[in-house]
Amino acid sequence: MNAEEKKVVTRMVSIYCRSVHGSSTQLCDKCSALLTYAHQRLERCPFGEEKPTCASCPIHCYKPEMRMKIKEIMRTAGPSMFFLHPIDTLKHFYKERQRNRHFAVKTKPSQKTE
């Protein structure tokens, strides 16, 4: 479940840990713990494969402190992702756009005309 999401998060955490914490082959303890936490959240997501982006999700399943950490990782590693993993980045953006559009249609309240 959410294998592509896990792959992207793993790559972003690796990029972040390498650039900020200077780790070369393995993640530091903090980044490793955050990655484990992110994978657990993805596995337990009630939306499954149709999950929207976390920013547009009505359910915020991350603890506030972990949410701030993952946001920092995304801000730092996001721009590098396009250059280091361009195909995965484009796939991710395309899937996110499709999921967000699908999710918006599903949750949009029906309009009543009188």
Paired tokens of 49: 């494969």
pLDDT tier for residue 13 given thresholds of 50, 70 and 90: very high
- CA-closest candidate to residue 13, choices 26, 51, 1: 26
The total of other beta-carbon atoms located within 10 Å of residue 31's CB is 20
Two tokens at 102? 């699908």
Does residue 96 lie in a domain region?
yes
Question: For residue range 31-88, what is the model confidence (pLDDT) as tens digits?
Answer: 999 999 999 998 888 877 777 777 667 788 889 999 999 999 989 988 888 888 888 8
Q: State which residues form the domain around 23.
A: 3-107
113 in a structural domain? no
Please list the alpha-helical segments (H only) found in the chain: 3-16, 29-43, 64-84, 86-107
Q: Is residue 114 part of a domain?
A: no
Residue 107 has pLDDT above 60, yes or no: no
Q: How confident is the model at residue 1 (pLDDT cuts 50, 70, 90)?
A: low
Mention every residue, 6+ apart, whose C-beta is less than 8 A from residue 43. 1, 2
Domain count, the chain: 1
Q: What global pTM score does this model have?
A: 0.77
Encoded tokens for 10: 């793993």
